[in-house]
Homo-oligomer: A and B are copies of this chain.
Amino acid sequence: MVSTPDLVSGRALCVIGLGLIGGSLLRGAQDAGWKVRGAATSGADVAAAREAGFDVTSSVEDVLADAAGDDALVVLAVPLPAVVDVLAVVARRAPLCRLTDVVGVKQPVAAAVARRTPSARYVGGHPMAGTSASGWAAGSATLFSGASWVVGSDDGADPGVWTQVAQLALDCGAHVVPAGAADHDAAVARISHLAHVLAAVLASVGADGGPLAMALGAGSFTDGTRVAASRPELVRALCEGNRDALLEAVDDALGRLGAARGSLASTGALEATIRAGHLARQAFDRAREGAVPADTEHTDTEHVDLSTGGAFRRLREIGRHGGRVIGLQGTRCQVQL
């Protein structure tokens, strides 16, 4: 671990929740030179983090009071259902704090912040990393390496907090994807929450085939149902917290699955379904290749200055088209298109 005897101004971090994501963030940020502290209600996670030498406590009240003292960036790294309770403590102990989060839906968190602690300088975040494991022990400093990290870019975001959240993401090795909360929630409904629902459906239909079907399950079933192994209450919280966007994604899936059914029943063909899926997967593979650290000489780049009008609108556009922020200088963002 990198020791940080001196507090680098604006690089103090306070992580609430020391599970897989919070615990990984604590490690990654410390390695990158942030002054980190944390708190969690899980005694096991606190004990493990303390054992690893981190400055952590089981008192969310105390750690938030300290965060208010040195204007630390506070990260809510708790499951969605716990956000409201933590925000109540934020409102008491650090009502003006710099605030971000790592929760998998953004509109519900933004609404809760606006209601519970409206003076906090909140910029939402969502690192797209995780495993079906959970808890401090499952984390690592490199969990976010190469991952996309959404930084909330709705109008009215505080440019200073925005750049700090983006810097934290870059320091953890992630790509910064700028997106508004609604765009984020619509996208993750399709690529994450629907994936959980379809995994649950596949697992159930498979199990309905009885022990013979379970004995024959191989690669396609193993992969297609992997996320059904995740803790159900966490999956439910994310899916139910993104209800409207998920409904739209489920309706699209029902439409496509119904079309496949109709085609198979009538002509016996599945060409349209299988080919569209194959092309879509290839598009995804290309998007992932494009996210590999780029040769900037051959990449379109642009600078967006957050202190100018329309900057966040431009960032949202860039994110919508698959672009990302690859560097920061003051309030100037270097963007890869």
Q: Does A332 contact B (CB under 8 A)?
A: no
Checking B130, B228, B285, B320 against A218 with a beta-carbon cut-off of 8 angstroms, the contacting residue is B130
Segment touching B, from A34-42, A161-169, A251-259: A251-259
Contact assessment for A211 and B256 in the assembled complex, using a CB-CB cutoff below 8 Å: no
Q: Does A93 contact B (CB under 8 A)?
A: no
The docked-state distance in angstroms from the alpha carbon of A178 to that of B264 is 29
The docked-state distance in angstroms from the alpha carbon of A322 to that of B211 is 5
The number of chain A residues touching the other chain, given as a range, is: 35 or more
Contact assessment for A260 and B250 in the assembled complex, using a CB-CB cutoff below 8 Å: yes
Q: Does A295 contact B (CB under 8 A)?
A: no
Q: Does A327 contact B (CB under 8 A)?
A: no
List the B residue with the shortest CB-CB distance to A220. B195
Judged by DSSP, the binding face of A is helix
The docked-state distance in angstroms from the alpha carbon of A321 to that of B269 is 33
The docked-state distance in angstroms from the alpha carbon of A280 to that of B229 is 9
Question: Known: A212-B183, A213-B187, A261-B254. Is A284-B206 also a contact (CB below 8 A)?
Answer: yes
Q: Does A128 contact B (CB under 8 A)?
A: yes
Q: Does A293 contact B (CB under 8 A)?
A: no
Q: Does A208 contact B (CB under 8 A)?
A: yes
Segment touching B, from A73-81, A84-92, A114-122, A239-247: A239-247
Q: Hey, what's the 0/1 contact readout for A205-244 against B, CB within 8 Å counting as 1?
A: 1111111111111111111111111101001100110010
Distance to closest chain B CB from A278 (angstroms): 5
Q: Does A124 contact B (CB under 8 A)?
A: no
The docked-state distance in angstroms from the alpha carbon of A243 to that of B216 is 19
Q: Does A277 contact B (CB under 8 A)?
A: yes
Question: Known: A200-B274, A283-B207. Is A215-B247 also a contact (CB below 8 A)?
Answer: no
Contact assessment for A256 and B201 in the assembled complex, using a CB-CB cutoff below 8 Å: yes
Checking B179, B188, B202, B217 against A198 with a beta-carbon cut-off of 8 angstroms, the contacting residue is B202
Contact assessment for A214 and B287 in the assembled complex, using a CB-CB cutoff below 8 Å: yes
Q: Hey, what's the 0/1 contact readout for A161-194 against B, CB within 8 Å counting as 1?
A: 0000000000000010101000110111011101
